[in-house]
Structure 1
Amino acid sequence: MTQSPATPLPPPKERRRLREAGSLTQAQVAERVGVSRETVRAWETGRTNPRGRKREAYAKLLTSLGEEETVTKPPAIEVAEVEVVKVEVVEVVGVVGAFEGKAVDDTAVLEPVPVLAPVPIEKPPRAPLTPAQAFDALYAFCAPALVRQAYLLTGRRELARESVERAFQVAWQRWPEVAVDRDPAGWVRSVAYEYALSPWHRFRPRYRHPEPPPPDTADRALLTALLKLPPSYRRTLLLYDGVGLGLAETAAETEASTPAAANRLLHAREALAAQLPDLSDPTELHRRMTELASTGRLHAAKPPTVRFVGERRTVFWTRAAIAFTVAIIGATTLTVRTAPTHYEPPVPLGQRVEGVPPRVVQGALSEEEVALRDRLRTGMTSGPERLAPLGR
C-alpha cells in the first residue's frame, strides 16, 4: 500500500508572515484549522509540523491567504529609479494681467518648480527590551495557560498558581540562560510541571485535604479520571492532547523515549475511554480539557510581584548560605584555638613490684582479747563517767 505524499507547506517564517498579512491572530487560525493556539505557535516556530487532515487544512488556509495578498497587494513603487526632475511650468495669465504691479505677457514663464521623488521614511530603530520587560512579556504570554495546565495536573487551584509562580521565579534567577533558550516557554513549562507533580506536597498541611470539585458533573468526572492516572501518564496526555506538542517533543520534555511516550499516551487514552466513553476521540478530549481548565478562577500574580518575590527569596537564601559559612569558619577557628599544641602521651599501665610483703589479714581473737572485749562491753556505764583502765 503506497502512502500519498504530504501536502507541501511554506517555511515557518513564511507561515507567520502570511498570517500577519491576512490580519489573523493565532487563535483565529487555530479555530479555523481545529487545533489549539499553542499548536499554531509551534507550527510557526518550526518546532512541530501538522499531520494528516490538519496539514491539508492548514496548507489550504495559507494558500488562500497568499492569493488574497497577491490580489490586494498595491503595485510596488521603484523609489530608487525615480529621479529628481525639473519641470518648467507655463502659466497663462490672460491677455491683460498684472503681477506685483508689472505687466505679464501671455506666455510669461515662471521659475522652474522642482518635483522631488518620494523619499522612504525610515522608522527609528526599536530600543531593545530590558531583562525585566522581556520577562514580563514572557510571563504575560505564558502564565495564564500554564496555570490552567497545572490545574489539570494537580486538581488544586492554589498549587497550580504556586507552581507557575515558582517556575517563573526560577526563570528570573536564571534569566541569562532562559533568555537565550530556543523555547523559553517550554523551559518554564517543564519547571512548573516538575514542581506541580512533586510528591512532597502531600506532606504539607495546606495540601492534605482535597479542594472542592468543579460544580459541573461532567467536569468533575473528567478531573477525577485525570487524577487517577499516574503522574507520568497524566503529563504525557496533557502535553500531547492538551498543549498540542508532537510525540518527539512530548518524549523529550518528559525525559522518556519516543516508544515509551507513545505507550503512556495510549494507556492514558484507554483509561479515560474506559471511564468516559465520550472522550475516546482526541479532538473531543482536547475540547473538554480546555473547558475544564477554563471553569475556575485561575489568575496568576502580576509579573512585578513574581520578580520581587523571586529576588527576595534569592537574597534570603544567599544570606542564609553566608551565615552558615561564617558559622563553619567560626567553629573551625575555635577548634584550632582550643586544641592542644603539644602531644601528651597516655599514662602507661601499672607494673608489678617485687619484694613487697604480702598484706596481713586479721585472724581470730585470742582468749585474752575476747575476755578484754567482754569486760569493756560490760564495764561501760551511762553518764559522764569515764572508763579508767584497771591495773593488774
Structure 2
Amino acid sequence: MLTTMECCFWARETSTEWWDHIIMQVWDDEQWLQNFWRRKATFMGLCEELAPTLHRKDTRLRAVKKWEAIAIWKLATPDSYRSVANQFGVGKSIIGIVLMQVCRAINRILLIRTMTLGNVQDIVVCFAQMGFPNCGGAIDGRHIPILAPAYLASEYITWKEYFSMVLEVRVDHRGHFIDINAGWPGKVHDAHIFQNAGLFRKLQAGTFFPDQKITVGEVKMLIVILGDPAYPLMLWFMKPYRGSLDSSKEWFDSSKERFNNRLSRCRMTMECAFGHLKGRWCSLYRKLDLADDSIPAIISMYCTLHNICKGKGESSTQAWNSEVQHLEAEFEQPESRAIRGSQRSAARTRDALREQFEAESHQ
C-alpha cells in the first residue's frame, strides 16, 4: 500500500549579528583598516560603485556591502569557506558565488579606470630625482603560489618546486600599478611573458610613451622602463650590468656598480608595491584554493584594489610588513634567469648613462 508523506525542508539557523551590529555599528576606522585593509568610508564608496553591476534579485546597497565584505574577508585571511560562512551568517555554497561576482564587478568597472599611465612628465621628473633620467616606470614579476592544476601541472612548477602563476606588473614612482599581466604558468620565463604582452608591442612600436628624448653623451635616449637581468636590454628598456668585475679597470667597475645602484634605487618602488600588495592580501603567500581559470581574475582584482587604496591614502601598517617577511620564507621567489645577447645600440645607451653617472659622482 502506497502512502504519501509531506516533504519537510530544514536549514541550520545562522546569525548575522556579527556583521549587522559588531562590524557595521561598533567597529571604528582602525578596526576596519586592520580587518578589511581600508577605512570604512573607502569601503562604502566602493560599494556604491559596484551596486549597479552586481546583478542579483536583491541589489540593495545593504546586500552589496555584505557581498563585498565576504569577498574581501575570504581573500585577505586564511579562513576556510565554512568559517567565512559562519561568521557572516550565510550558506557555505554562497561564498564562492559571491567572491567571483564581486571580482568580476571590480574588474569590469574599476580595472581600466585605475590601471592608467597618468602624467608621464611627473613620472619622469620623480624618477630623475631618484637618480635615473628619462625613466617611465619599473617592471618585474612575482610567482603566486597555487594548488596543483588538474591539467599540464608540470608547466606550473617553479625552480623552487611549488606550483605558481606569474604576475607581471609595471609601476610608476608612487608604486601605483600601471599595467598588469596575470595568469602565465610558473615555468614560463619572465622575458617570454613580457614579449607576448600588449605593453611590449606598444613600447616596440613607440606608441606607449610620448616621443621624448634626451641627450646622454653622444646618444639620444628614449623614455625607458627599468627591470632586472631576466629581461632583454632594449632602446627603451634598461637593466643592470652582469658578470664579475675586472680588477684591472677599477674605474670602469666602479662606474658599473654606480649605474646598478641608481637603477636598483628606482626599482625599489616595485619592491615596495609588491610588499604592500602582499601585505594587504596575505593569501598571495598561500596556495590560492580557487579554480585555475578564476585565479587571473582574482589577481587582477587584488591589483585594482591596491591602486584604489593607494589613491585613497590607505597606508600599510608595520604589522602587515612583518607578516609579509614571515610568510616570504615558505614560498621563496625563484631567481631570475638572465638572457644574453643585448642589442648594441641599447648597450651604447646604457654605457653612456654609466659614464654620465660616473662623471656626476666626481663633480
Output the TM-score relative to the length of structure 2.
Answer: 0.22
Higher Cα Rg: structure 1 or 2?
Answer: 1
Bigger helix share: 1
> 1 or 2, which has the higher strand percentage?
2
